[in-house]
Amino acid sequence: MTQDVYPVPQELCDCTLCTDEQYIEQYARSIHDPDGYWGEIAGTFEWFKQPTKIKNTSFHKDDFGIKWFEDGELNITVNCLDRHLKQGRGNKIAYIFEPDSPRYPSGSVTFRELHDRTCQLANALRQLGIQKGDRVAIYMPMIVDAAVSMLACARIGAIHTVIFGGFSAQSIADRVQDAQVKLIITADEGHRGGKHVPLKANVDQALKLPGTNSVETVLVVRNTHAAVNMQMPRDRWFDEVTRNQPVECEPERMNAEDPLFILYTSGSTGKPKGVLHTTGGYMVYAAHTHRMVFDLRDDDVFWCTADIGWITGHSYIVYGPLCNAATTVLFEGIPTYPDVRRTWQIIDRHRVTILYTAPTAIRSLMREGDENVKLSERTSIRLLGSVGEPINPEAWRWYYEVAGDSRSPIVDTWWQTETGGIMISPLPGATALKPGSATRPFFGIKPELVDAEGKTLSGATEGNLVITDSWPGQMRTIYGDPQRFFDTYFSTYPGTYFTGDGARRDEDDYWWITGRVDDVINVSGHRIGTAEVESALVAHPHVAEAAVVGFPHELKGQGLYAYVTLNAEVAESDDLRTELVKLVRTTIGPIATLDVIHWAPGLPKTRSGKIMRRILRKIAEGELGALGDTSTLADPSVVDHLVSTRSAD
Ligand code: WT7
């Protein structure tokens, strides 16, 4: 492990929101007096009714509950929009829109325009019968109307659930059914990397699947102007229903604990779960982390490259930056189209000051060589961020030295869909950096390491990462399944929130996330549950059984390695292999692309029939000498067979 330390740049010490001394003092306060700390932060927002009760939480079975600011009343869009208009910032740019193709002009939207468009859509939604508490799905390209759609829902208290534009019809249908979605907002098509994504056609297909009858209306944004099937009266054009609406819309009065959105994410078992975030705590946490971690300044141009279909987009493209009146780049495309210089050109074109991206993107740009980067100036950059998976020290150094010209600190931010916002991260003006370490906990966050039995570990060591007390941005439940919420996160190590990650704490109390310790695979920063992939595979008539594990992948962080047992009499073939890869892609979406299919006449199982994933992981990783004890297996020869048929590369 590296011993390199990168101190806080001298110039930052005078103009940062938080120095090291302040971090230490305020962190201690946030832990000892959470009510005082978070009450004060909450006071910087606009509430219809200021909260007087701050924290009311317990992770214990008997009195389990998570409530923050519970008597507060607010509307998050008032904080994202109206508040800035009142403060004379209506003409500040909220979004700089950069289209997929650089041949099209970029655009911008001021806070005033964003407010007006949000209100128009909110009025239209109300007219279409959407009320507080109704669920609205958003299946959109990365365009301004995607953010407008989220905000319009929040304006009227509807609960949005954004579905990533790369997900399949089946995935849309699963989510629509689980959330009993009443209205879907989509677009005719999206542009991505020069290709057209048939969003409306996918929605049409999804709504033919069983369990989707709850959908009454589909609003369609004209984006590429491609011809799409409009099924009247269900389908309505977005521009037609919004055009004549007033640009003012009375914001719904929300309790702090009223739901704001549901976002589906993969777990280690079963179908994706609907992570539910509420209004007050989420707002305070997303905005406060955004301001502090990125050491925000009024003239910043912030660019988070995530899609709004992920939590990163929710917290750091929409709610956090808008609450902070920041100017944000919204990019429709991908970093490698039309070529690998795209990221750096966008930075120069819009004078981006903060770049927040994922290790997988960094590694793929690193592979293209330094020349492509050096063709750009990047003089506007003052801070770099990383999120989504552990960043290997080599990629960290390249990001720092080449992308950032050894000038800009890197904030390696560890968090999860469930946490709502950043949990462990450097603060640029306070924290000396170590490549590969997410460094120290954010205000109010109490991480701990426990061993397999749940015993707390002290000192420099490695273990399972738990959080021992609540923070405002924490998810409140799994939509429709509070028992699963408790069981998934609070029963493994009673009294604590279990993250599913492993971590190491070093002698300086710095945190190093080592990756998932459960059956969740992190492919290019996207979570994929092994169970989901396995159930897609066994849906094929020739497949008897399947087990999927992750393995180290040079670009994606982790790749998907599937062991597949075919039915008797079915021959292994490359055609079948191709068919299975395609099946998983169409069931889940292109992010679930199998890297390896290993034909397995049998899977290693215990005598009670449990698949020994530990062994499958080792074989996938190529660590054939470290398989451990196989004597408890029902049939140890299965392992020998898998080892001997593992392909060499
Ligand atoms: C999982 C959460 C939260 C935004 C994107 C992913 C991994 C996330 C880091 C990091 C090491 C990281 C963890 C976590 N992860 N950030 N900086 N260093 N690992 O959200 O899809 O909910 O995935 O991503 O394994 O549990 P998500």
Ligand 1 atom showing the smallest separation from residue 520 Cα: 25
| Nearest CA owner, ligand 1 atom 14 | 416
Q: Which of 26-40, 232-246, 618-632 has the lowest mean pLDDT?
A: 618-632
* Beta strand 301-304 pairing with 354-357: parallel
Taking residues 517-541, report their average pLDDT.
Answer: 93
Annotated binding-site residue numbers for CoA: 192-195, 312, 524, 585
Q: Which of 455-469, 483-497, 499-513, 630-644 has the lowest mean pLDDT?
A: 630-644
311 lines ligand 1 (CB under 6 A): yes
Q: What is the DSSP string of 95-112?
A: EEEE-SSTTSPPEEEEHH
Non-local CB neighbours of 143 within 8 Å, separated by 6+ positions: 97, 187, 190, 221, 223, 330, 332
Q: What is the DSSP string of 284-348?
A: HHHHHHHHHHTT--TT-EEEE-S-TTSHHHIIIIIIHHHHTT-EEEEE-S-TTSS-TTHHHHHHH
- The pLDDT score that the predictor gives to residue 547 is 96
| Nearest CA owner, ligand 1 atom 18 | 390
Q: Which of 104-118, 202-216, 624-638 has the lowest mean pLDDT?
A: 624-638
| Nearest CA owner, ligand 1 atom 1 | 416
Non-local CB neighbours of 422 within 8 Å, separated by 6+ positions: 289, 293, 387, 413, 414, 415, 442
Residue 647, pLDDT above cutoff 90: no
Taking residues 273-297, report their average pLDDT.
Answer: 98
* Residues 412, 425 contacting (CB under 8 angstroms): yes
- The pLDDT score that the predictor gives to residue 649 is 57
Residue 511, pLDDT above cutoff 70: yes
Ligand 1 atom showing the smallest separation from residue 386 Cα: 17
414 lines ligand 1 (CB under 6 A): yes
Residue 447: strand pairing partners? 467
Ligand 1 atom showing the smallest separation from residue 306 Cα: 5
Q: With helix as H, strand as E and coil as C, how does 268-295 read?
A: CCCCCEEEEEEHHHHHHHHHHHHHHHCC
Ligand 1 atom showing the smallest separation from residue 419 Cα: 3
415 lines ligand 1 (CB under 6 A): yes
Question: Separation of 643 CA from ligand 1 center, angstroms?
Answer: 31
Percent of the chain with pLDDT over 70: 99
Residue 347, pLDDT above cutoff 80: yes
413 lines ligand 1 (CB under 6 A): yes
Of the candidates 199, 252, 257, the one whose C-alpha atom is nearest the C-alpha of residue 229 is 199
Supply angle C-alpha 419, 423, 426, rounded to 5: 155
Question: Separation of 501 CA from ligand 1 center, angstroms?
Answer: 9
Mean predicted lDDT score pLDDT of the chain: 96
CA 550 to chain CA centroid, nearest Å: 19
Question: Separation of 389 CA from ligand 1 center, angstroms?
Answer: 5
* Residues 190, 141 contacting (CB under 8 angstroms): yes
388 lines ligand 1 (CB under 6 A): yes
* Residues 368, 394 contacting (CB under 8 angstroms): no
- The pLDDT score that the predictor gives to residue 3 is 66
Question: Separation of 415 CA from ligand 1 center, angstroms?
Answer: 5
* Residues 352, 301 contacting (CB under 8 angstroms): yes
* Residues 610, 547 contacting (CB under 8 angstroms): no
DSSP 536: H
513 lines ligand 1 (CB under 6 A): yes
| Nearest CA owner, ligand 1 atom 2 | 416
DSSP 551: E
Structure tokens at 535: 């159930």
Between CA 47 and CA 52 the distance in angstroms is 11
- The pLDDT score that the predictor gives to residue 14 is 84
Residue 290, pLDDT above cutoff 70: yes
Of the candidates 647, 546, 556, 547, the one whose C-alpha atom is nearest the C-alpha of residue 593 is 556
511 lines ligand 1 (CB under 6 A): no
Supply angle C-alpha 591, 467, 56, rounded to 5: 110
356 lines ligand 1 (CB under 6 A): no
Between CA 364 and CA 356 the distance in angstroms is 15
CA 490 to chain CA centroid, nearest Å: 21
522 lines ligand 1 (CB under 6 A): yes
Ligand 1 atom showing the smallest separation from residue 516 Cα: 25
387 lines ligand 1 (CB under 6 A): yes
Question: What phi and psi, each to the nearest 5 degrees, are found at residue 319?
Answer: -70, -45
Q: Is the dihedral of CA 25, 458, 425, 474 positive or negative?
A: negative
Structure tokens at 70: 């519970």
Taking residues 542-563, report their average pLDDT.
Answer: 95
142 lines ligand 1 (CB under 6 A): no
- The pLDDT score that the predictor gives to residue 1 is 47
Structure tokens at 152: 């319009």
Buried/exposed 138-163: b ≥16 CB within 10 Å, e otherwise: bbbbbbbbbbbbbbbbbbbbbbbbbb
Residue 589, pLDDT above cutoff 50: yes
Of the candidates 586, 585, 580, 584, the one whose C-alpha atom is nearest the C-alpha of residue 600 is 580
Q: Which of 86-100, 207-221, 395-409, 612-626 has the lowest mean pLDDT?
A: 612-626
Between CA 137 and CA 181 the distance in angstroms is 6
Structure tokens at 628: 């451990």
Question: What phi and psi, each to the nearest 5 degrees, are found at residue 309?
Answer: -75, -5
